[in-house]
Structure 1
Amino acid sequence: MEAMMMTSKLNQQVDAYQGNITKQDLTRMAVNPGALGMEYSWNYPKQMSVPFCLMLNPLLKKIYKDDPKGYAEALQRHLEFFNITMYFAPFVGGVVASMEERVAKGEMAPEAINQVKAALMGPLSGIGDSLFLGTLRVIAAAVGISLAVNGNPFGPIAFLLIYNIPTFLTRVIGAHKGYELGVSFLTKAQESGLMDKVIYAAGIIGVMVIGAMTVTMTSVSIPIEFGQGESVQTIQSVLDGILPGTLALIALGLYYWALTKKVSPMVLIVITMVVGVLGAFTGALG
């Protein structure tokens, strides 16, 4: 029985790499210029779309080597909006590579790829930001600084090792696990309807993350006072008494409405800057 289980596991591992993509391809993808440069080709309208496409490009060339039109469509597909904690990008790349192989064979609709990417971005970013940026980086800095202030030259090295070893392992292992997950699970999940449930659940988590980020990352208030004597209040205090984060929620609603009307994100950024400067100058906003 044990031998049969080991054989089954071995067969699953072999099946996972039956396509054009090899383990070496996935490892190189996890540390290529696109993967390592996720924050260096960032832009406001589509954020990490360019480096993600650059990271995935060698695999797309291999998958669509005899299909120039399919290759061009895949590049266009991955130049859509994408944003994630950078260390999880290779994991998504692995999932996407396995799905692109299915698309190239006509076994999967191309639209499913962007649906899965959108479903993974929010939850993985919530986990990644908390784990790597909010926890691991702080621990690494604390250890490095404590050594450095005592004159130990190993301080900066300790910081780099503590922070980078786990993140690089996450990149490489994530790329392989993402590919294996895509091959062994996504197709069956799509056929059984489980994928729709996964996307729906991930979407709920993503909306929760967006809601939390809206309140914590939007700094705006209305300091206008009304009343007399000890009963003086500000409009902001009244709004906070009704619903904390009211202005952030209103701003989110306005931005969402504008984006549905195809207003350019750059135009929204300029409008936000103008409103902020005028509001601070007149005292209407704080």
Structure 2
Amino acid sequence: MLKDKFNLTNEENKMIFQVALRSHTMSAPYCWEKMQALAFVYTMIPVINKLYPDKKDRIEGYRRHWELFNTTPSVAGFITGLVTSMERQGAENPRFDKSAISAVKSSLMGPFAGIGDSIFQSTLRVIAMGIGLSLSAGGNILGPIAFLLLYNIPAAFVRFIGPYVGYSLGSKFMNDAAESGVMSFITKSASTVGLMTVGAMTATMVSMKIGYVFNVGGAEQSIQEMLDMIFPNLLPLLLTLFCFKLLNKKVKPTVLIFSLMAVAIFGTWIGIF
């Protein structure tokens, strides 16, 4: 039924069906280094293996998706479907700029996270929980069952249908963009939005504050307050850039994580942080 609705060939339908199933694993193998990257790679394995017969191209494809990705799992399917259409475009057209794939992923994960969180986490889950609790308060066994069904049925449906919608829209969109010559503009714009997303994540998710306070003429002066007046979130920015520098020098993420933990504990102990 979905094959006919989205005008897919048997080959495309089989590939998107695998993507739709694997998209359900988003956030299952979650890690703080690259968040949902492992799940995204796992989702794209059937696509990469189908489109790229050469082993070198496959390895490049795996590496292309082994990068930071994080969005609401329920709406991630649309992005995997869109990326699948771009991968097909890249496999069929040697002139296709594959860096656009990463740029589009980075630019979409933030807005889709906002949409997904608003619909599923802040609205649907609250409504389903309210109905479930009202039933449970009266001793009705249907309370938890109603909550699970009311939330998971729509969420699972969107997860499954998302790759089909993303692939269907993406194929036409990518063909039109390639013919009109606007792909370079899209790539540049998406890269800019992606960098803005990473910058916002740095400011909100990375925390580093100087706790040391010194006296000047009998008045206490906080170094952190001085830094915030000059350049808010300067220390999180410098810490992030420093970590990127070490990662580029092939420092292992686990070594970096434990080193930061040790520095944080020692710095807090002596009163710097």
TM-score normalized with structure 1 length: 0.76
CA-CA distance at 1:263 after TM superposition: 3.5
Contact 2:19-2:43 at 8 Å conserved across structures? yes
In the TM superposition, what are the counterparts of 1:77-92 in structure 2 within 5 Å? 77-85=63-71, 86-92=73-79
Residues 71 and 220 from structure 1, CA distance in 2 versus in 1: closer, same or farther, beyond 3 angstroms? closer
Equivalent of 1:231, from 193, 200, 219?
Answer: 219
Corresponding residue of 1:6: none
Q: Which amino acid aligns with 1:172?
A: F
Corresponding residue of 1:21: 12
Q: Which amino acid aligns with 2:16?
A: L
Corresponding residue of 1:161: 149
Equivalent of 1:181, from 143, 150, 169?
Answer: 169
TM-score normalized with structure 2 length: 0.79
Contact 1:52-1:89 at 8 Å conserved across structures? no
Equivalent of 1:101, from 77, 85, 88?
Answer: 88
How many Å separate the matches in 2 of 1:263 and 1:131? Answer: 40
% same residue = 38
Residues 57 and 234 from structure 1, CA distance in 2 versus in 1: closer, same or farther, beyond 3 angstroms? same
How many Å separate the matches in 2 of 1:44 and 1:159? Answer: 29
Aligned with 1:20: secondary structure? helix
1:281 and 2:265 correspond: no
Q: Give the stretch that moved more between structures: 268-277 or 127-136.
A: 127-136
Q: Which runs of 5+ in 2 are unaligned?
A: none
How many Å separate the matches in 1 of 2:122 and 2:218? Answer: 41
Corresponding residue of 1:4: none
In the TM superposition, what are the counterparts of 1:1-286 in structure 2 within 5 Å? 13-14=6-7, 17-18=8-9, 20-22=11-13, 25-30=15-20, 32=21, 34-63=22-51, 67=53, 69=55, 72-73=58-59, 76-85=62-71, 86-106=73-93, 108-227=96-215, 231-285=219-273
- For the aligned residue pairs, the C-alpha RMSD in angstroms reads 3.3
Q: Which amino acid aligns with 1:76?
A: Y
Give the length in aligned residue pairs: 268
CA-CA distance at 1:26 after TM superposition: 2.5
How many Å separate the matches in 2 of 1:105 and 1:74? Answer: 16
CA-CA distance at 1:203 after TM superposition: 3.2
CA-CA distance at 1:226 after TM superposition: 1.7
How many Å separate the matches in 1 of 2:226 and 2:137? Answer: 47
Contact 1:126-1:209 at 8 Å conserved across structures? no
